[in-house]
Structure formats: structure tokens, C-alpha cells
Structure 1
Amino acid sequence: MNDEDIVCYCLGVSVKDIKDAIASGCQNFAQVQEKTGAGTVCGACNDEVEALVAQLLNQK
């Protein structure tokens, strides 16, 4: 997955946005949602975003 890939189309949240949220201190999916808004409109991307957050947190 590239940094510019969109993971939440409703709000245009990219992989880089998720990485930036984690770098700024988010420690779980709920905090990333709060910071980026990813998955808070229609919810279709929740599984993908949650898996991405878990993967990125495991790499820290």
C-alpha cells in the first residue's frame, strides 16, 4: 500500500493520514478514527482501516 492510497473514500483519508495519526500519538483504531474521521461516515472501510492501524502499530 502506498502512502497516497485512499483508505476512506468518504473523507479522502489516505494511508499517510493514518500513519501521521499514529506518529502523533494515536494508539488504537478509535483514536485514529477520532483524529482522521476514517470510517465515521458510512463505515464501509472500517475493517480495512482497523487492519491497517493494527499493522502499523505492530511495526512501531
Structure 2
Amino acid sequence: MCVESHLRELLEQGFEIAVAKDAMAAPRHPEWGDGYTAALINYHFLAHAVLSTDEVVNAMKS
């Protein structure tokens, strides 16, 4: 929820957003399921890119 909250705020300010999908965590709930999968689905709808940490580091190097 924290990542998505900041993502939405930065989008409203006009930033292009990339999310490092393997640099975050989310809860698993016995009834509601996997929060990580749900978060990734939301990030794909909101962010400009959803990348691995290696992809982010390589992009910053180039």
C-alpha cells in the first residue's frame, strides 16, 4: 500500500514512474490471497514500467 500510495502521488505530480518489482514485499492473507500479485497488477495499470532490480540498475548505468 505504501508503494502504491507514493506511486499515485508522484503520477499526480507528473513524474514517469518505474517500479522495481523484486524490491518490495506484500502480505499473504489466508482468505484474501496473495497481496504481492494484487500489487503487481495495480502497478502495471499505474506505472510507466514494472522492472526487476537488475533492469533498473542497468537502465541507470546507461
* Same fold, judged at TM 0.5 (above): no
Give the TM interval when normalised to the shorter protein.
Answer: 0.3 to 0.5
Higher relative contact order (CA 8 A, sep 6+): 2
User: Higher strand proportion, which one?
Assistant: 2
Q: What TM-score, normalized to structure 2?
A: 0.36
Bigger Rg, which one = 2
